[in-house]
Amino acid sequence: MKPRLKTKAEKQYDSKMLDESKDEFTKLASEFAIEFSECGGDVFYSTYQKFTNANWKYTQAMDVIKMTKVGECWDYEHGITGEFKYRDMK
């Protein structure tokens, strides 16, 4: 498959995913900060892991929204999102 420009629906999906990941990241950052403060600098590993995963999802969503094309395989260097990302768009 030759890379093509993203459709309007794919761009809207990317925007929705960015908003959702930002909301989750913000919520978990708040929980992390509260736990850190209440525990005198200690946090449960599970809290840290949730926070780290949310950060990764948010960072990934930020990268994807900047990509302008869709292709068979991911190619970050050329701004191409893998087509499978959009197979289950809702």
Write the single-letter amino acid at 21.
S
Task: Tell me the residue range of the domain where 12 lies.
Answer: 4-86
Alpha helices in 1-86 (DSSP H): 8-38, 45-66
Q: What is the pLDDT of residue 90?
A: 67
What integer best gives the mean pLDDT of the chain?
A: 95
pLDDT tens digit sequence for 6-17? 999 999 999 999
3-state secondary structure of 5: strand
Total number of domains constituting the chain: 1
